[in-house]
Copies of this chain bind each other. A is one copy, B any other.
Amino acid sequence: MQNLSKNQQIIFDLIDKSNEPMKAYAILFNVQKKGIKAPLQVYRALDKLVEIGKIHKIESRNAFIACQNSSCQVSKATAFSICESCEKVTEINNSSLSKYLSNFKDRAGMKYSKYNLEFFGLCKKCITK
């Protein structure tokens, strides 16, 4: 596991300490005082962090969260639950699920190397509201 570069570290630290997914331009705004001034600097760091599995992109939200699953070094098998009311996102770490999906074969004969799953619903808090 290589070390992160300066920009990568700054941006990872920010996302990691956030308790919700962060959007690219919110990240940019937050790191401007650290000298990162342009969108591209943010996107490049995000690309790399996604590639090495330190963060994941929540595709339906165009937002990024730190990996909450220590075994998930590379972003090849990701699953999330998303509350449609409060937008809380949690990475699902369930070995039955990941085993089922990693072994899934469709009749089309495709060779899968990666998947991303997003569940939507209401979190515990929001159900009772």
A positions within 8 Å CB-CB of B:
59-60, 81, 83-84, 90, 92, 94, 97, 100-101, 104, 106, 108-124, 127
* A110 lies within 8 A of B124 (CB): yes
Q: List 20 A-B contacts (CB under 8 A).
A: A59-B59, A59-B60, A81-B106, A81-B108, A81-B112, A84-B113, A90-B110, A92-B106, A94-B106, A100-B100, A101-B117, A106-B119, A108-B123, A108-B124, A109-B124, A110-B123, A110-B124, A112-B121, A114-B120, A114-B121
Closest to A97 in B: B104
7 smallest beta-carbon distances between A and B, as pairs? A59-B59, A112-B121, A114-B120, A117-B117, A109-B124, A112-B119, A115-B119
* A111 lies within 8 A of B122 (CB): yes
Tell me, in angstroms, the Cα distance from A108 to B121 when the chains sit together.
Answer: 12
- Contact partner of A110 (CB less than 8 A), chosen from B60, B81, B114, is B81
* B111 lies within 8 A of A121 (CB): yes
